[in-house]
Structure 1
Amino acid sequence: MVLASGAGTRVGAGVNKVYLPLSGRRLLAWSIEAFGHAPGIGTLVLVTRPQDAGLAAEVLDAYRGAVPVEIVHGGATRQASELQALRHLAGRISGGVIDTVLLHDAARPLIGTELITAVLSAARAYGGAVPGLVAEDVVAVTEDGARLEGKAPGGIVRVQTPQGFRARPLLAAYEQAELEGFLGTDTASCMEKFSSLPVRWVPGSEENFKITYPHDLVVAERLLTGRA
């Protein structure tokens, strides 16, 4: 599931940032292609906004992946968009056709197939998996903001996407969250509240960063040029 239904206003563009140009393609196209060529992926859902229909069609016209892409329109929040997509897949989830779901931010265009495979494998093995990087730049401070000597407590991880979970518990957790009006910070937070599945940390990638500000596009362009 590739989430592309946000606005991305902080990047300062007049268009949804996932459709900005990046190394000869729309930014979104890089994520779509990565999942479309990743082993073990059988269904690919693109969550979009209705007003971006023309841009989404342009991306999919150029798509050359092996996995068919289905389009779902998102909701008012990230969680609502995820629920819309899960409901779209509900029949196949309940029938056992889809056993695991990965949810990825389209604004992370440099995702690699190796990380996709690692998250999928861990999610199938343990129930849930999230990629992340150890936060070595975090410091400890006092209540009034003064920095304490020494490092902050260990075990702090900067979480990335895709986040992966077994499909049936994921759908059930999101439906329960909708009933109770709970809005989580990400997929894992919703699962931690409404599911007993363990969530396993998988080492992420430095390149798998999120495009948030204009300079992020410059960095992504340089990294893609280096790959070529």
Structure 2
Amino acid sequence: METTAAGVVLASGAGTRVGAALNKVYLPMAGRRVVAWSLAAFAAVPEVGVLVLVIREQDTELADEVLAGHPGKVEVVTGGATRQGSELNALRHLAPRIESGAVDAVLIHDAARPLATPALIGDVLARTREFGGAVPGLAADDVVSMAADGSVAAPLPGAIRVQTPQGFLAAPLLAAYEQAETEGFLGTDTASCMERFSALPVHWVPGGAENLKITYPHDLAVAERLLSR
């Protein structure tokens, strides 16, 4: 059986802080909609043979427009009420291929990070297959702890700012998310759920300073300027 990795691009949030009338991942940026950049990056990684886009039902027409301009096949899944619910929907969509062994690893990525590169995706996937789990991040040398009285305490050695895509071996990832659903656990991201319900080690892959997340209006302007280079 041929084994491949799956990329899951999450585009089912609202992104209200960016101040736009529509879902921020469909805003135009450097000649494409934001989400199209992430899809293109995953499509450029040969080891990713399955690409899933998770959307809100009300964004179907926008998603169709994006996919009409995408050269490869993208499977569309409707998201859930939370980020974790959307991830679970995608994993259940992939479940038959995960259980058969056809999909051995899954990388989950925020569509709001349009500057993730194929090289970064490939690095995360390689480390995922080697160790079981991997996340990209940047060293957070400026992060400090707070004392009980609210004063600044010592720096936190080894802290990183975690990015996406976050990759894990597919079968343990699916099992962890099903267990989280059963127990009513809601994590902050993919790694937090895996840390709670899986023994897989999560390894750090150096992320990119340009792999920023579109959250506020100025982020869109910065990302567009970077892409225009």
TM-score bracket for the superposition, by shorter chain length: over 0.9
The partner residue of 2:60 within 47, 53, 65 is 53
After the TM superposition, which residues 70-219 of structure 1 pair with which residues of structure 2 at under 5 Å, given as runs? 70-148=75-153, 152-219=155-222
Q: Secondary structure at the match of 1:198?
A: coil
Looking at structure 1, the residues matched to 92 and 146 of structure 2 have their Cα atoms a distance apart, in angstroms, of 43
Looking at structure 2, the residues matched to 225 and 182 of structure 1 have their Cα atoms a distance apart, in angstroms, of 41
Structure 1 position 138, deviation (Å)? 1.3
Q: Secondary structure at the match of 2:227?
A: helix
Q: How many residues align?
A: 222
Structure 1 position 37, deviation (Å)? 1.1
Structure 1 position 107, deviation (Å)? 0.1
Q: Secondary structure at the match of 2:136?
A: strand
Calculate the TM-score normalised by the size of structure 2: 0.95
Looking at structure 1, the residues matched to 125 and 39 of structure 2 have their Cα atoms a distance apart, in angstroms, of 16
Residue 115 of structure 1 aligns to which amino acid in structure 2? L
Residue 38 of structure 1 aligns to which amino acid in structure 2? V
User: Structure 1: 5+ residue runs without aligned partners?
Assistant: none
Structure 1 position 137, deviation (Å)? 1.9
After the TM superposition, which residues 30-41 of structure 1 pair with which residues of structure 2 at under 5 Å, given as runs? 30-41=37-48
Structure 1 position 16, deviation (Å)? 0.2
Q: Secondary structure at the match of 1:168?
A: helix
Structure 1 position 106, deviation (Å)? 0.1
Structure 1 position 146, deviation (Å)? 2.1
* Runs of 4+ displaced beyond 6 Å: none
Looking at structure 1, the residues matched to 95 and 145 of structure 2 have their Cα atoms a distance apart, in angstroms, of 44
Calculate the TM-score normalised by the size of structure 1: 0.95
Residue 110 of structure 2 aligns to which amino acid in structure 1? D
Q: Secondary structure at the match of 1:14?
A: coil
Q: Report the RMSD for the aligned CA atoms in angstroms.
A: 0.9
Structure 1 position 64, deviation (Å)? 2.2
User: Could you give the per-residue CA deviations for residues 105-145 of structure 1, whole angstroms, max 9, x where no partner exists?
Assistant: 00000010000000000000100000000002213432222
Residue 105 of structure 1 aligns to which amino acid in structure 2? D
User: Structure 2: 5+ residue runs without aligned partners?
Assistant: 1-7
Looking at structure 1, the residues matched to 43 and 150 of structure 2 have their Cα atoms a distance apart, in angstroms, of 46
Residue 72 of structure 1 aligns to which amino acid in structure 2? V
Looking at structure 2, the residues matched to 130 and 156 of structure 1 have their Cα atoms a distance apart, in angstroms, of 13
Looking at structure 2, the residues matched to 19 and 118 of structure 1 have their Cα atoms a distance apart, in angstroms, of 27
Identity of aligned residues (%): 67
Bigger strand share: 2
Give 1:62's aligned residue. 69
